[in-house]
């Protein structure tokens, strides 16, 4: 019988290496204790998950209610997508400060009746001592009553470019987390509520 010497040497080396590896593994980890890990599956609860009761959203530190009217309404097509460009102006109250506002937005139809809104705006205190410039985006839908209802967020950092730029007697809104909800009727009348969290 003829023996394939290179193959035999390879088998011997592999067997020797495997034996050394088992020996090293048994020696190196002999003192190690393996702890079981609990993982959330199905309805079981993981022991390492924080309790949901400890996480609360709470009430906003500052509140805004605005009343706006659509001043322009222009259907357009951008990159093959049908959009509506709108402008708005109005007034409101921010933590007891009377304000005026204006802005513009693009409204796009999504799937399953979803509506996406993105835009920018500006709120000015009536005495002219403070302003907020911001950008926003939201998701909503039209109700059976024909009203568009949106929920979204406003960028609230005080850096150049996108975000809230708060000055004067409205500077207290710098670096806040912000959520808004609005309702717009068929005539273009809108009510917007904004909550600001520090």
86 pLDDT exceeds 80?
A: yes
**Global pTM?**
0.69
For the stretch 47-71, pLDDT in tens is 556 677 777 778 999 999 999 999 9
- Go through the domains of the chain in sequence order and give each one's CATH number: 62-197 (2.40.160.20)
For the stretch 150-183, pLDDT in tens is 999 998 555 554 555 788 999 998 888 899 999 9
Q: Which helix (H) or strand (E) holds 196?
A: strand 189-197
CA within 13 Å, CB half, 13: 6
Answer for the pair 152, 138: CB distance below 8 angstroms, yes or no. Answer: yes
What confidence category does residue 26 fall into, taking pLDDT thresholds of 50, 70 and 90? Answer: very low
Q: Parallel, antiparallel, or unpaired: how do β-strands 165-168 and 130-142 relate?
A: antiparallel
Give the separation between CA 97 and CA 100, rounded to whole angstroms: 10
Q: Strand, coil or helix: what is 53?
A: helix
CB atoms within 10 A of CB 124: 19
Q: What is the pLDDT of residue 49?
A: 62
Q: Which of 132, 134, 87 is nearest to 106 (CA)?
A: 87
Q: Which residues contact 182 (CB under 8 A, 6 or more apart)?
A: 138, 149, 150, 190, 191, 192, 193
């Amino acid at each position: 019988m003829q023996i394939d010497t290179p193959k035999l040497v390879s088998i011997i080396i592999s067997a020797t290496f495997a034996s050394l590896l088992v020996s090293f593994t048994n020696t190196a980890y002999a003192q190690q204790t393996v702890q079981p890990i609990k993982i959330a599956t199905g309805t079981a609860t993981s022991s390492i998950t924080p309790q949901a009761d400890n996480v609360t959203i709470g009430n906003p530190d500052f509140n805004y209610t605005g009343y706006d009217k659509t001043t322009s309404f222009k259907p357009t097509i951008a990159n093959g997508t049908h959009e509506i460009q709108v402008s708005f102006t109005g007034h409101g109250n921010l933590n007891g400060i009377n304000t005026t506002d204006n802005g513009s937005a693009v409204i796009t139809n999504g799937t399953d009746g979803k509506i996406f809104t993105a835009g920018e705006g500006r709120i000015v205190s009536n005495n002219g001592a403070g302003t907020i410039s911001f950008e926003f985006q939201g998701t909503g839908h039209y109700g059976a009553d024909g009203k568009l209802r949106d929920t979204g967020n406003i960028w609230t950092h005080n850096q150049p470019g996108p975000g809230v730029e708060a000055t004067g007697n409205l500077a207290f809104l710098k670096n806040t987390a912000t959520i808004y909800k609005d309702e717009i009727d068929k005539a273009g009348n809108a009510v917007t509520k904004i909550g600001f969290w520090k």
